Structure 1
Amino acid sequence: MPHSDDFLAVHDPAATRPVHAPAAGSGRWWGFAVALAAGLLLLCALTWLVSVQRGLASLQQGTATRADRYAATLESTLDRYEFLPALVSLHPFVRGLLAAPADAQRVAAANQYLAEVNRRAHASATYVIAANGIALAASNHNQPGSFVGTDYRFRPYFQTAAGGKMGRFYAIGITSEEPGYYLAQPIEAGGKVIGVTVVKLNLEWFQRAGSGAEPLMVSDDHGVIFLSSVPAWQYRTLRPLPPALRAEMERTRQYHGRAVTPLPLEPLASPVTRWLADTTLAHGARLVRVRDEGAAGRTTFAPDGAERADRYLELNRTVGPAGWTMQVMAPLDPVLANARNATVAAALAYACICLLLVNWRQRRQRARDMQYSRRLLEAAYDQLERRVEARTADLMAINEKLEDEVAERTRAESELRAAQDELVQASKLAALGQMAAGITHELNQPLAALRTFSDNTRVLLARGQLDAAEGNLTAIADLTERMGKITGQLKLFAGKARPVQRPVALRAAVDHVLALLAPRLGAVTVSVAGLNAVPALAVRADELKLEQVLLNLLGNALDAIDAAAPAASEHGRIDLEVQAGEHAVTIVVRDNGTGIAPEALPRLFEPFFTTKETGQGLGLGLAISSSIVREFGGQLSVANVTGGGAQFTLVLARAPAIDAAPSVSASP
């Protein structure tokens, strides 16, 4: 069955030629679309130009009103303080101080008078300078950074006043480090200047007169901006300074400590901008841009770090007798935004009209398209039916194949389940045989101990040592009970009963195992460490199986010692160390026997693997011990000891403490 999308090339089943769409007059449509696009562009351009022109006119009018208000405020402040230095120079205290500068009384009177005048006038500082340029008295005479004693001969306002004219100067104070406007009045007597009175005004308040969105700045006659509502624009220049003027400013320390650099301000020079400025703006206004230094686009000179507009309408006003220039910068963004909104609105209206025209044209075309669409759908429906029939036949074949596969899988699962049952039965029989062999192996040691205790009992009875004979009989009873527990494991396995794990006293288990092995120890030294530190130490295990594991480990250690030095077993030594942790108990069994060959270490816990000679072991002891330890949730590992011997490490879960058993004693 074909699976390609060949039905997209639909053919009319009732005809021998393909079904084609009716002709749409594409050439006329293109001409109509181009005419609409040209009309839209023309409408948007005219709307934008008219909106910007009206917005600039409105912005200029509002900004001019605010600029006049700012200029009047600054002018009134300067005029109010213009005559204050002259009034101070006429006071007898000031003239008396200049007549006798060394008179302490006159100095104190002048200082007190200047402080009172400065307080009432709300000026920054008022002080008197002698003809030699040294300040004799000041309103801040009793404050840190007093002007008294400072040499002001380098200041232009002093030089102008010393020449007999009124001195005006804006600079940063060399003592207070605060900017201010200095008014200096010469004091004359006998036709010559004998001193100068100076009043310093703080004009920083004027920087806050403008709003944050409308920058305001004042520059001096050299073009240096000394007041600005934008902190980053302060102490910048409107034009590059000549080297001679820059040297003069450094000599007079007018803005000492400040880097006076040009402000990147330039007029907007595009043809549209020039046309708008010529037709809309009045004298003293222009369109400018403040570029960001180091990056193109918008500048970030805003005080709070926010993005500030970079295009402004600038209005200039001349203020003050010193020839200052005040610039009010109105952002153009609102004007441009309004122009964009008006342009978008005009474009939307034009688009609505165009949509109506297109809709009318489409209605005419729709009637012709309906017949074509109907024929197209009929042809597609016929071909779709044929494809569905073919696909249905494929699906039915696939369904039959799947049913056969399901039946085959069901038979395979039944056979697998039967095989698993047989495997489980075989595994059970194998495990039962392994356990029987292991239990037979483990019964040999208790039987040997029974024989030894019974022989000793006969000797003790013959000697009349009844107490010792009674102790041997008690040991024989314990051994028979232990053998009964060992054989009981077969019943547990046959009934699939899960052995119960409970807290087992480790000291009692070790004592019991050492007692069973006492006849084999001979001259071998056994040391037990760590049990006396925690008398009630217990682990989570099965008592009988734990003793079985310990018995296997200690028995293997004795076998290794006998194999190492059968004729000198008095040098044999077994160390049993117990380390009690918070959640686990570690038991280490270490001997000084022959050790374990490196190639035998990986297979040591495999069933029927043994390093002993034939007839001395079945190779099941360590395999059974490892299985028991895993059943307890613990770990059993082995390693060789440096210097000879082997070390088995048994880790078991710690259980709550139980009553302590009698102390463990080393044998022999």
Structure 2
Amino acid sequence: MPHSDDFLAVHDPAAPGPVHAPESSTRWWGFAAALMVGLLALCSLTWLFSVQRGIAALQQSTAMRADRYAATLESTLDRYEFLPALVSLHPSVRALLANPEDPARIAVANNYLAEVNTRARASATYVIAASGLALAASNHGEPGSFVGTDYRFRPYFQMASRGQIGRFYAIGITSDEPGYYIAQPIESGGKVIGVTVVKLNLEWFQRAGSGSTEPLMVSDDHGVIFLSSVPGWQYRTLRPLPPTLQAELHNTRQYHDVDVTPLPIQPLDSPVSRWLASTTLNDGERLVRVGAAGSTGATARDGDDGQGAHFGLSSDGADRYLEINRAVGPAGWNMQVMAQLDPVLASARTATIGAALAYACICLLLVNLRQRRQRARDMQYSRRLLEAAYDQLERRVEARTADLMAINEQLEAEVTERARTEGELRATQDELVQASKLAALGQMAAGITHELNQPLAALRTFSDNTRVLLERGQLDAATGNLSAIADLTERMGKITGQLKLFAGKARQRRNAVRVRAAIDHVLQLIAPRLGRVMLRVRGLDGDAADLAVWADELKLEQVLLNLVGNALDAIAAAGAEDGRVDIAVSATDETVTLVVRDNGPGIAPDALPRLFEPFFTTKEIGQGLGLGLAISSSIVREFGGQLTAGNVEGGGAEFVVTLRRSRQTATA
């Protein structure tokens, strides 16, 4: 322990200390500026060469991957290139073209095409007459068969009609499935008498790169991306299409109903980017970004650093890639394999930080050597100060240790109490979850019972009528009733399956459905519930009787049945004696609108925004599960339409269903 007088002497501001000659301020700032310039130069060079080396390594690995994918696609296309020509040489095909009206020859050709398609593992194989009408197809017995479809507007048929091999990638107008079409002309006497077509499904190719962080896409000679491992890039364009080309795509229906829009892809254009491309990349390779630069609220992603922003490689909210192009196929396709640049920039950032740290260590070492002499002179004086400070620190540590031990004991007690409280809270939450499950189970059972009431009532009516008809000997009418009963039982089984619409979206199966037939079926089911309620249908007279929409017949009837049933429930709840339900149908060139109105109490304003939410209902407990309108809205959206609700002036509610109009022959 130092003497008290010595301790006081150490802390006396007037006590003499070592005197050092002040350094020149100008020399110090000049030395610091030189160090900063050296640091910036070192970081810049390290970053540039690290990025160059990283891009070179990335280019080699990505080029190998691109070559492998291109070879895989080329081998697939080459394997099927001669299949249409072989099919065109078969005697059954030429016999069919010689007499296209002979059912026996059609059957033989259909069977042959089905066998060839199965062995070749193609999507479809079919024969088209010189008039453009499909005469036979491998899918002749399946829904959506190509037989009878007119393909004169398809470019691959037009090319084959001129004696050339037609190659075309498009979305099928009948199956809504994309594929690659190879068309081979069939000639006789120097004249094209027909065309054989093989359709290949190439979606497996884009799935080959779906598990990788490097996107893969294939575009046609117009720059339209038709295969992509990134779903959002498919059916986008690499550049804006001129109006004439847009009109051609629309006329040929190459991509059916898909709206083809440009993909925001641009080359990285900065001095550093151009230097990297010229020193590292080969022809057909470039640095690009996908996304709009300068977008509102865009921030640099993880991995961007000061160097990336300074040298023009910052993302600006966009993704940056090394793009490698490969020409594939005889149709002039271009395959692009995209490799993320972020790992390269992250590696360059790490190398730059390492170089900066090494530079800083060297600078610190130099400064340390410079200061060692000064530290030696100050050592003795500092030792006296440290001894005094150490004594004072020991006393403070002892006091602080005592405080910390008390606080630690208090914290342990609080932790124990909090653990006990959390255990009680978890037990309470488990009980609430179990109670909620039991309540939801009861609501679902009651809702499903409500949905089955209408078919059950119709079954009772048909069975009573059938018994009377049998007593009278009217067997034909009784047979019709029994057929209707069979349809109703099948429909009852499918009602419970509608809950799947909220578990996942099923594959869309749409066709042309007559609106009048769907409404007639609904009226037949709802008739037992009408009672004194007047139900009128307007807008289906004259030419409107053949109106058709793109939909699924059973699901469309389910939507209308739910809307009319809700209208009857609203009228019954209001106790109106002059109940009225109106179904109005109107159409434009593109859409068909069905409006269901009633003169009930209408929809409460607080219920209107939540009307289409699952399990929301305004009915009494046990009268419905609250899924009817939610399921109906989901079905209409599946058809590409819209379902809205509102109130009518003078009282009552109306539900408006807007669907896409179909010009094709509708199912009855």
Q: TM-score, normalised by structure 1?
A: 0.51
Q: Distance in 1 between matches of 2:301 and 2:174?
A: 34
Q: Distance in 2 between matches of 1:22 and 1:297?
A: 50
CA apart distance, 1:377: 10
In the alignment, is the contact (CA less than 8 A) between 1:11 and 1:379 conserved in 2?
no
1:230-261 deviations in whole A, cap 9, x for unaligned? 11110000000000000010010001111111
Q: Secondary structure at the match of 2:29?
A: helix
Q: Does residue 1:325 correspond to 2:334, yes or no? A: yes
Q: Distance in 2 between matches of 1:238 and 1:54?
A: 28
- Among residues 315, 318, 343, which one is paired with 2:352 in the alignment? 343
1:153-172 deviations in whole A, cap 9, x for unaligned? 11000111111111000000
Residues 56 and 94 (structure 1 numbering): CA distance in 2 closer, same or farther, change over 3 Å? same
Q: Distance in 1 between matches of 2:174 and 2:328?
A: 28
Larger radius of gyration: 1
Structure 2 partner of 1:412: none
Residues 372 and 171 (structure 1 numbering): CA distance in 2 closer, same or farther, change over 3 Å? same
Structure 2 partner of 1:138: 137
Gaps of 5+ in 1: 1-6, 301-306, 385-668
In the alignment, is the contact (CA less than 8 A) between 1:22 and 1:368 conserved in 2?
no
Q: Percent identity?
A: 76
Q: Distance in 2 between matches of 1:88 and 1:298?
A: 56
Matches within 5 A, 1:228-307: 228-291=228-291, 296-297=298-299
- Among residues 369, 372, 375, which one is paired with 1:366 in the alignment? 375
In the alignment, is the contact (CA less than 8 A) between 1:291 and 1:299 conserved in 2?
no
Residues 371 and 156 (structure 1 numbering): CA distance in 2 closer, same or farther, change over 3 Å? same
Q: Distance in 2 between matches of 1:213 and 1:14?
A: 69
Aligned-residue RMSD, C-alpha: 3.0
Q: Distance in 1 between matches of 2:387 and 2:329?
A: 90
Q: Distance in 2 between matches of 1:99 and 1:122?
A: 28
In the alignment, is the contact (CA less than 8 A) between 1:21 and 1:369 conserved in 2?
no
Amino acid at match of 1:353: I
In the alignment, is the contact (CA less than 8 A) between 2:66 and 2:326 conserved in 1?
yes
CA apart distance, 1:25: 4.0
Residues 128 and 275 (structure 1 numbering): CA distance in 2 closer, same or farther, change over 3 Å? same
Structure 2 partner of 1:126: 125
Residues 14 and 313 (structure 1 numbering): CA distance in 2 closer, same or farther, change over 3 Å? closer
1:412-442 deviations in whole A, cap 9, x for unaligned? xxxxxxxxxxxxxxxxxxxxxxxxxxxxxxx
Q: Secondary structure at the match of 1:57?
A: helix
CA apart distance, 1:79: 0.7
Amino acid at match of 1:280: T
Q: Distance in 1 between matches of 2:299 and 2:90?
A: 58
Amino acid at match of 2:286: R
Amino acid at match of 1:150: T
1:459-486 deviations in whole A, cap 9, x for unaligned? xxxxxxxxxxxxxxxxxxxxxxxxxxxx
Amino acid at match of 1:355: L
CA apart distance, 1:352: 1.4
CA apart distance, 1:41: 1.3
Q: Secondary structure at the match of 1:69?
A: helix
Q: Distance in 2 between matches of 1:186 and 1:24?
A: 94
In the alignment, is the contact (CA less than 8 A) between 1:127 and 1:138 conserved in 2?
yes
Q: Distance in 1 between matches of 2:177 and 2:299?
A: 34
Amino acid at match of 2:265: L
Q: Distance in 2 between matches of 1:378 and 1:226?
A: 79
1:569-602 deviations in whole A, cap 9, x for unaligned? xxxxxxxxxxxxxxxxxxxxxxxxxxxxxxxxxx
Q: Distance in 2 between matches of 1:209 and 1:158?
A: 30
Amino acid at match of 2:321: Y
Amino acid at match of 1:232: G
Q: Does residue 1:71 correspond to 2:80, yes or no? A: no
Structure 1 partner of 2:201: 202
Amino acid at match of 2:102: D
Matches within 5 A, 1:12-161: 12-13=13-14, 23-161=22-160
Q: Distance in 2 between matches of 1:299 and 1:51?
A: 19
In the alignment, is the contact (CA less than 8 A) between 1:22 and 1:369 conserved in 2?
no
Q: TM-score, normalised by structure 2?
A: 0.51
Q: Secondary structure at the match of 1:149?
A: coil
Q: Distance in 2 between matches of 1:224 and 1:378?
A: 80
CA apart distance, 1:283: 1.3
Amino acid at match of 2:92: F
Amino acid at match of 1:155: R
In the alignment, is the contact (CA less than 8 A) between 1:267 and 1:286 conserved in 2?
yes
CA apart distance, 1:364: 2.6
In the alignment, is the contact (CA less than 8 A) between 2:179 and 2:201 conserved in 1?
yes
In the alignment, is the contact (CA less than 8 A) between 2:70 and 2:328 conserved in 1?
yes
Residues 93 and 357 (structure 1 numbering): CA distance in 2 closer, same or farther, change over 3 Å? same
Amino acid at match of 1:172: I
Amino acid at match of 1:215: P
Q: Distance in 1 between matches of 2:170 and 2:50?
A: 44
Q: Distance in 2 between matches of 1:185 and 1:32?
A: 80
CA apart distance, 1:21: 7.6
In the alignment, is the contact (CA less than 8 A) between 1:12 and 1:379 conserved in 2?
no
Q: Distance in 1 between matches of 2:280 and 2:195?
A: 50
CA apart distance, 1:378: 13
Amino acid at match of 1:228: S
Amino acid at match of 1:269: D
Q: Distance in 2 between matches of 1:204 and 1:11?
A: 86
Q: Distance in 2 between matches of 1:229 and 1:299?
A: 22
Residues 12 and 188 (structure 1 numbering): CA distance in 2 closer, same or farther, change over 3 Å? closer
Residues 348 and 379 (structure 1 numbering): CA distance in 2 closer, same or farther, change over 3 Å? closer
Q: Secondary structure at the match of 2:140?
A: coil
In the alignment, is the contact (CA less than 8 A) between 2:291 and 2:317 conserved in 1?
no
CA apart distance, 1:348: 1.6
Structure 2 partner of 1:168: 167
1:500-530 deviations in whole A, cap 9, x for unaligned? xxxxxxxxxxxxxxxxxxxxxxxxxxxxxxx
